[in-house]
Amino acid sequence: MLGLEKKDATLLLVVIALALAAPILLNPFPTESAMAQFNAGYPDLMQKFAIYGIFAIGFNILFGLTGYLSFGHAAFLGVGSYSAVWMFKLLSMNVIPALVLAVLVSSLFALVIGYISLRRSGIYFSILTLAFAQMSFNLAYSVLTPITNGETGLQLSLDDPRILGISQTADGGIPLTSLFGLAMRDSVAVKLGGWSFEFSVGYYVCAILMLVCFYLAMRIFRSPFGLMLRAVKTNQTRLNYTGLNSRPYTLAAFVISGMYAGLAGGLLAAMDPLAGAERMQWTASGEVVLMTILGGAGTLFGPVLGAGFIKYFENIFSKINDSVLQNWFGFLPDGVENVVLWVVEHFVGPGWHLTLGLLFMLVVIFLPGGLMEGGQRIAGLLRGKRKSGGDGGGDDPEYHPGQTPHVAE
């Protein structure tokens, strides 16, 4: 199917099913239940899952295949956002031209930065990309204020000279971003019993683009080009001794990765037409590194899983406040309740980073291959139990306790 082997085609079908059914799967608890706050099936959060999934997939093409660790990928995310907003201001509120411009500008920007940074490898490459990202952040924040609007951020206004659209609606408001007449904010709510499911145009636009990006990444992983990138990661010096120049391959991977980041930035602007310099900070670059490593660098689905994991913690755990905790532990005696609240409140709400940090430490220590390795181990154990239950004993030949399993891609 689509030029993929059976295993890859099956994985793609699973990802498609998960993406399309996300509004249902991410709302497991009834709307009025106490656990409803853990539901993640609302449009804004699902859009972040898909957008940052694209960002992480693109970063994984560079880091997962070549081993080049970039600390400056947020620069392309920010450039994509600025480009998209300018297209909304000057041409049309249709998201297609904005996304095209975001990808083109970010690819050119990545070509320049990659051409310079890839002259070095290892930690020197990482420092160079970080330096370029911080330069971009400071330029957007100060020197390029006429283009970026500085610390206020670039946003739409009622006097934008929009060539192929209206500058303001009949009621005097700013037009909404749309896809051929379908507003990105449009959604349909479906109620079934105690559950409420919301199907958003914006989410499905992001999800379809994520699926396209996932498919393209899959083809890159299985192509001769992807094999060359793996060779670079394995031993670039030995590869160069064979007479092959690896720099064009690494530069191509860097540009492709930058294009993915630019697309993600354009989608962020399409969902909320605002671009600020904070999207280019080093913290945003570090976030995509965490997503990729947490999910499983070098795997296909791992970066998407890592992106969803981190964004879930950021948007769900950070909203758990003292009143919610009191509802949870109100049945305890007063003294015990106060102690429990004092302990737990450090791991939720503003302290959600502490929980994420601990989980990241556990994953790095016990699951070097990320969450995908954890899933692989669980699957191996389940296969071993089924086999021992069916024939009276025996180990799974693909997994043995104490042996680190191969991380599936």
For residues 232-245, average pLDDT: 87
Q: Kindly tell me if the per-residue pLDDT of 259 is higher than 60.
A: yes
Range of the domain at 82: 6-280
pLDDT class of 124 with cuts at 50, 70, 90 = very high
Is residue 85 assigned to a domain?
Answer: yes
pLDDT of amino acid 395: 41
* Global pTM value: 0.89
Q: Which 3 state secondary structure label does DSSP give 178?
A: strand
pLDDT at 229: 94
Q: Is the pLDDT of residue 401 over 70?
A: no
**Burial tier of 88 (Cβ tally within 10 Å: 0-12, 13-18, 19+):** buried
Q: Residues 6 or more apart from 238 whose CB is under 8 A from it?
A: none
In this prediction, residue 408 has a pLDDT band, given cuts at 50, 70 and 90, of very low
Cα separation values, 157 from 85, 229, 298, Å: 11, 45, 43
Provide the 10 A C-beta neighbour count for residue 402: 4
Task: Fill in the DSSP letter of residue 169.
Answer: -
Tell me how far apart the alpha carbons of residues 293 and 286 are, in angstroms, rounded to a whole number: 11
The band of 389, judged by pLDDT with boundaries at 50, 70 and 90, is low
**CA-based diameter of the chain, in Å?**
76
In the chain, the percentage of residues whose pLDDT exceeds 90 is 47
Judge whether 353 lies within some domain: no
- pLDDT above 70 (res 102): yes
Residue-wise pLDDT tens digits, 160-197: 888 887 888 888 788 889 898 888 999 898 888 888 89
Q: Determine the pLDDT at residue 399.
A: 38
Q: What pLDDT shows up at residue 256?
A: 97
205 — pLDDT class (breaks 50, 70, 90): very high
Q: What is the average pLDDT across 129-133?
A: 94
What is the chain's mean pLDDT, rounded?
Answer: 87
Cβ atoms 223, 61 nearer than 8 A: no
| Residues whose CB falls within 8 Å of the CB of residue 111, separated by 6 or more in sequence, listed in order | 251, 255, 258
Which position has the higher pLDDT, 367 or 109? 109
Q: Each residue of 304-321: b (16+ CB within 10 Å) or e?
A: bbbbbbbbbbbbbbbebe
Whether the per-residue pLDDT at 403 is higher than 60: the answer is: no
Confidence of residue 393 (pLDDT cuts 50, 70, 90): very low
pLDDT at 355 over 90: no
Would you say residue 405 has pLDDT above 50?
no
Whether 12 maps to a domain, the answer reads: yes
Q: Is there a contact between 67 and 232 (Cβ–Cβ < 8 Å)?
A: yes
Q: Would 1 be classed as within a structural domain?
A: no
Q: What is the CATH number of the domain that holds 134?
A: 1.10.3470
Tell me whether residue 163 is in a domain. Answer: yes
Question: What confidence category does residue 388 fall into, taking pLDDT thresholds of 50, 70 and 90?
Answer: low
- Gyration radius (Cα) of the chain, Å: 23
Range 40-49 average pLDDT: 90
- Number of domain units in the chain: 1
Does residue 21 belong to any structural domain of this protein? yes
Helices 224-241, 247-271: axis angle to 10 degrees equals 140
Q: Is residue 377 part of a domain?
A: no
Packing angle of the helix pair 122-138, 282-295 (nearest 10 deg): 140
- Report whether 152 contacts 169 (CB < 8 A): no
More confident residue, 375 or 83: 83
pLDDT at 100 over 90: yes
* Structural domain includes residue 403: no
> Quick one: which of 80, 126, 127, 68 has its CA closest to 107?
80
Residue 390: per-residue pLDDT: 54
CA 5 – CA 9 distance, rounded (Å): 6
